[in-house]
A and B are shown apart, each in its own frame.
Chain A
Amino acid sequence: MSDQQHHAELAPSFHAERRNLRAMGMWLFLGSEVMFFTAFFGAYIVARSASIEPINHPLDKVLGALNTVVLITSSLTMALAVAYSKRGDRKKTGLALLGTLALAAMFLVVKGFEYHAHFAEGVYPSSDIFHGFYFMLTGFHGLHVIGGMISLSILWYRNRRGDFDEHYCDPIEMTGLYWHFVDLVWIFLFPALYLL
């Protein structure tokens, strides 16, 4: 039985209560995500503080900064999508979701150019320990971005279909929480990898 079928039988008080359940579940999931990235950051800190040699082929700070701006802006559009959907404004919700999707795609394109430049220089994950961490951390972050984009596309479609109203828009809100987390990881990654 899908959400869709049940939707008619569920009172607004049910949705309000289930939204709290889902929010708690999402926060716990993000807690476990924090631990996941903590292991990488911890290992990275150990490796960087033990290494005295300068980094060969340093990263492009400009592109990194650009991507930071792109991703923070996408957090804004995501927050707008959540706010519009809570007001039941389907049209603006759809636009904000599309905006978030476009910015996420832009982030990946910039990242793709960076990766391409590394490969052209002959820099691979196996080149040295710094680039190992660089490719692994940005790679896992990129996978999270792709996961978010899949979710955003489904939300855009469901919003268009009319699944959401002011009583029921938890999927948008939960994806919003997740998307801000993905943004936050990058806020840590950028200084740790590009600036230090």
Chain B
Amino acid sequence: MSEAKIERVADFYHPEPTDFFRKYVWSYDHKVIAKQYLWTSFIFLILGGTLAMLLRWQIAYPNAPVPVLGSLLHGMFFFGADGSITPGGYLELATMHGLIMVFFVIIPLIVSAFGNFLIPLHIGARDVAFPLLNAVSYWLYLPAGLLIFASFFVDKGAAAAGWTAYPPLSDAAGASDPVLGMNMVLFALFLAGFSSILGGLNFLVTIVKLRAPGMTWSRLPLTTWAQFITAVFQVLATPMLAAVGAMLLFDRIAGTSFFIPTGLTINSELVANAGGGFPLLWQHIFWFYAHPAVYILILPSMGFASDILSAFSRKPVFGYRAMVISLASIMGLGFVVWGHHMFLSGMNPVMGMAFMISTVFIALPSGVKVFNWLGTLWGGSIRLQPPMLYALSFVSMFIVGGLSGIFMAASPVDIYIHDTYYIIAHFHYVVFGATLFSVFAATTYWFPKMFGREMNRKLSYLHWGLTFLFFNLAFFPMHFLGEAGHMRRLATSTGYEFLNPLAPWNEFITLSAFALGMSQLLFMYNFIYSVFAGKPAETNPWEASTLEWTIPNPVPVYNFKELPVVTRGPHEYSSPDTLPGDWLPQNAPANPSASAGH
């Protein structure tokens, strides 16, 4: 830091620490915190994915011993004495797979990891608004994640009431077997929620207050716009989860009856709680949070895809303003659609109608986004490099998942397909097909800036092809299962005669899922190898125009030596200004003909 006094917040940064602890553990640098989130959530992703593999094994080969893992861990966790998965263990796996993937993988990955890394670079800032708070967010998230995994190790295992934890199953003591496991899960969610609120608050202040000179709202990269709108969700919706989780903990620990109705009997025994509560209340408050959370899982991905599609089509994004407005309307509508999860819950059907209408409205902004992505591609000089392929897969898988969503938004249709494999297919198309493909896109795209090296392109092509193929083979047939009435969360389908003809499908899905899981090893290998031994990357390997590509590799601790002055929009490709090249950085001088070298 120079001797002159620091005049402006934008000029301030924490100098690079020299000791290991302050550099890698308790770091204030948004880039280091982003990498902490990235590594942690990738590890959780592997673990959560392994749970899914076990689930699929049990569905395809009911009660057969699990190879390798079953013989190693028989009698422990969710394994029976013979190494097969017990029915209770199956529910545990299903519950924990959902919770881990939603709260400890996808949200930290797309919001915390990429948001932290990209927001200050995109807006031309030296760090986020509150670096200390940023470190606190990560150090709340990590213990929460460890706590949720620790719940597997306690007596009677982890939570098994579904990731939605509907009472009274999740509630009255004795109703759900794992007493301690469920409490630990609720507490972990409370911590993770707190981390998420602090993170969102930090991003909002950063984007509002720390934009570089000239970085107007209409020049923000769409990734940052999406992070901004996601952060509003985080700050306003996540406290609802904390509150409703606290109420459930009160019911379980202090014996209150917030969600326990009068006269509830379990195994023909009256529960001890006083009663007078409402199980439906949980669903209302939980989904008031969890539906916005569904958009937290997709909005940042929409941002990645918009910027990447534009850079690899060498065209400005089609309808920038419409893209922003559609993001904002998805957020606004997202707060008034939660009831579409509850058509069969005993809620007043009149409300079902209202929620159906508001939900179908979401198809409008989603449609605007899809058509604008197609419009961006139209007539572009498309470069089919790995990030582009992943981003294109994001768009196509989002279309499939979005369309199947419209079926479920219609309450008459939902009555038939509710809680079947149709919903599993739907949200995996959105959360795996769309979001995880966008994570692959973002990782391959920003990897050179994050680690200063390149990922191996051939391996990325191979990984993309295999993942795209096996993902569709694994999840598309689930639509058929759902239409045939195959219920979700069913440990063994062999007990139901009408499901027996579906057994070959289940085996096919499982084999495809295993192949899908194995394909991810390619990405893991590519990622880890490239971090340490990849080819050193150029400053701007993709010839992209946003600000992060104007700074050298590795990114210095202060990001920008001098704060950039932004003169143009985020997608400055193929405009007459850019001649003779086809792009200009966002901070290029206003009149390029005046600058030297052209």
Task: Knowing A32-B238, A35-B239, A36-B239 are in contact, say whether A129-B258 is a contact too (CB < 8 A).
Answer: yes
Q: B596 interface residue, CB < 8 Å from A?
A: no
| CA gap between A29 and B246 in the complex, in Å | 19
| CB atoms of A9 and B5 under 8 A apart | yes
Q: Which residues of B contact A62 (CB under 8 A)?
A: none
Tell me the B5-38 residues at the A interface (CB within 8 Å). 5-9, 11-12, 14-15
**Minimum CB distance partner of B289 in chain A:** A39
Q: B283 interface residue, CB < 8 Å from A?
A: no
Q: Which residues of A contact B274 (CB under 8 A)?
A: 126-129, 132
| CB atoms of A129 and B250 under 8 A apart | no
A75: shortest Cβ distance to chain B, in Å? 23
| CB atoms of A28 and B257 under 8 A apart | no
| CB atoms of B6 and A21 under 8 A apart | no
| CB atoms of B237 and A35 under 8 A apart | yes
- Of A10, A24, A43, which is in contact with the most chain B CB atoms at under 10 Å from its CB? A43
Q: B72 interface residue, CB < 8 Å from A?
A: no
Q: Which residues of A contact B14 (CB under 8 A)?
A: 1
Q: Which residues of B contact A21 (CB under 8 A)?
A: 9, 129-130, 205, 209-210
Q: B392 interface residue, CB < 8 Å from A?
A: no
Query: Which of A28, A39, A124, A135 contacts B235, CB < 8 Å?
Result: A28
| CB atoms of B9 and A136 under 8 A apart | no
| CB atoms of B205 and A31 under 8 A apart | no
Q: Which residues of A contact B197 (CB under 8 A)?
A: 29, 32
Q: A47 interface residue, CB < 8 Å from B?
A: yes
Tell me the B122-139 residues at the A interface (CB within 8 Å). 129-130, 133
**Minimum CB distance partner of A23 in chain B:** B205
Q: A196 interface residue, CB < 8 Å from B?
A: no
Tell me the A1-41 residues at the B interface (CB within 8 Å). 1, 9-11, 13-14, 17-18, 20-22, 24-25, 28-29, 31-33, 35-40
B260: shortest Cβ distance to chain A, in Å? 9
Query: Which of B209, B235, B257 contacts A129, CB < 8 Å?
Result: B257
| CB atoms of A18 and B9 under 8 A apart | yes
Interface size on B, as a range, is: 35 or more
| CA gap between A33 and B242 in the complex, in Å | 10
| CA gap between A29 and B12 in the complex, in Å | 23
Per-residue interface assignment for chain B, residues 222 to 246, with 1 indicating a CB less than 8 Å from any chain A CB and 0 otherwise: 0000000000000111111011101
Per-residue interface assignment for chain B, residues 426 to 452, with 1 indicating a CB less than 8 Å from any chain A CB and 0 otherwise: 000000000000000000000000000
Q: B281 interface residue, CB < 8 Å from A?
A: yes
| CB atoms of A14 and B244 under 8 A apart | no
| CA gap between A124 and B8 in the complex, in Å | 54
| CB atoms of B205 and A39 under 8 A apart | no
**Minimum CB distance partner of A17 in chain B:** B9
Q: A153 interface residue, CB < 8 Å from B?
A: no
A23: shortest Cβ distance to chain B, in Å? 10
| CB atoms of B243 and A36 under 8 A apart | yes
| CA gap between A136 and B253 in the complex, in Å | 12
| CB atoms of A25 and B201 under 8 A apart | yes
Per-residue interface assignment for chain A, residues 106 to 136, with 1 indicating a CB less than 8 Å from any chain B CB and 0 otherwise: 0000000000000000001111110011011
**Minimum CB distance partner of B286 in chain A:** A39
Q: B263 interface residue, CB < 8 Å from A?
A: no
Q: Which residues of B contact A10 (CB under 8 A)?
A: 5-6, 12
Q: B520 interface residue, CB < 8 Å from A?
A: no
**Minimum CB distance partner of A8 in chain B:** B5
Q: A162 interface residue, CB < 8 Å from B?
A: no
Q: Which residues of B contact A37 (CB under 8 A)?
A: 243
Q: B279 interface residue, CB < 8 Å from A?
A: no
Q: B408 interface residue, CB < 8 Å from A?
A: no
B4: shortest Cβ distance to chain A, in Å? 9
| CB atoms of B281 and A28 under 8 A apart | no
Q: Which residues of B contact A42 (CB under 8 A)?
A: 285
Q: Which residues of A contact B456 (CB under 8 A)?
A: none
Task: Knowing A11-B5, A21-B205, A28-B204 are in contact, say whether A39-B240 is a contact too (CB < 8 A).
Answer: yes
Q: Which residues of A contact B254 (CB under 8 A)?
A: 124-126, 132, 135
Task: Knowing A1-B14, A32-B201 are in contact, say whether A14-B238 is a contact too (CB < 8 A).
Answer: no
Q: B143 interface residue, CB < 8 Å from A?
A: no
**Minimum CB distance partner of B280 in chain A:** A46
Task: Knowing A10-B5, A25-B130 are in contact, say whether A125-B250 is a contact too (CB < 8 A).
Answer: yes
Per-residue interface assignment for chain B, residues 270 to 281, with 1 indicating a CB less than 8 Å from any chain A CB and 0 otherwise: 000111111001
**Minimum CB distance partner of B244 in chain A:** A39
| CB atoms of B273 and A126 under 8 A apart | yes
| CB atoms of A39 and B239 under 8 A apart | yes
A111: shortest Cβ distance to chain B, in Å? 17
**Minimum CB distance partner of B260 in chain A:** A129
Q: B485 interface residue, CB < 8 Å from A?
A: no
| CA gap between A146 and B11 in the complex, in Å | 36
Q: B68 interface residue, CB < 8 Å from A?
A: no
| CA gap between A23 and B5 in the complex, in Å | 23
Q: B208 interface residue, CB < 8 Å from A?
A: yes
Task: Knowing A10-B5, A21-B209, A125-B255 are in contact, say whether A132-B250 is a contact too (CB < 8 A).
Answer: yes
Query: Which of B204, B235, B278 contacts A50, CB < 8 Å?
Result: B278
- Of B209, B258, B288, which is in contact with the most chain A CB atoms at under 10 Å from its CB? B258
B477: shortest Cβ distance to chain A, in Å? 39
Tell me the A64-119 residues at the B interface (CB within 8 Å). none
Query: Which of B12, B235, B237, B257 contacts A132, CB < 8 Å?
Result: B257
Q: A140 interface residue, CB < 8 Å from B?
A: yes
Q: Which residues of B contact A51 (CB under 8 A)?
A: 276
Q: Which residues of A contact B236 (CB under 8 A)?
A: 31-32, 35
Per-residue interface assignment for chain B, residues 204 to 221, with 1 indicating a CB less than 8 Å from any chain A CB and 0 otherwise: 110011100000000000
Q: B202 interface residue, CB < 8 Å from A?
A: yes
Q: Which residues of A contact B208 (CB under 8 A)?
A: 24
| CB atoms of B256 and A14 under 8 A apart | no
| CA gap between A47 and B274 in the complex, in Å | 14
A100: shortest Cβ distance to chain B, in Å? 24
Q: Which residues of A contact B350 (CB under 8 A)?
A: none
**Minimum CB distance partner of B273 in chain A:** A126
**Minimum CB distance partner of A140 in chain B:** B246
| CB atoms of A20 and B8 under 8 A apart | no
| CA gap between A32 and B250 in the complex, in Å | 21
Residues of A that sit less than 8 Å from B by CB: 1, 9-11, 13-14, 17-18, 20-22, 24-25, 28-29, 31-33, 35-40, 42-43, 46-47, 50-51, 124-129, 132-133, 135-136, 140
Shortest Cβ-Cβ A-B pairs, 9 listed: A126-B255, A132-B256, A39-B243, A36-B239, A129-B276, A35-B239, A11-B5, A125-B254, A28-B201
A-B CB contact pairs (8 Å), 5 listed = A11-B7, A24-B208, A25-B201, A129-B277, A132-B258
Give 14 new A-B contacts, CB below 8 A, not counting A14-B5, A39-B244, A129-B276: A9-B5, A10-B5, A21-B130, A32-B235, A36-B242, A36-B243, A39-B240, A43-B281, A51-B276, A124-B255, A126-B254, A126-B273, A127-B274, A136-B246
Residues of B that sit less than 8 Å from A by CB: 1, 5-9, 11-12, 14-15, 129-130, 133, 197, 201-202, 204-205, 208-210, 235-240, 242-244, 246-247, 250, 254-258, 273-278, 281, 285, 288
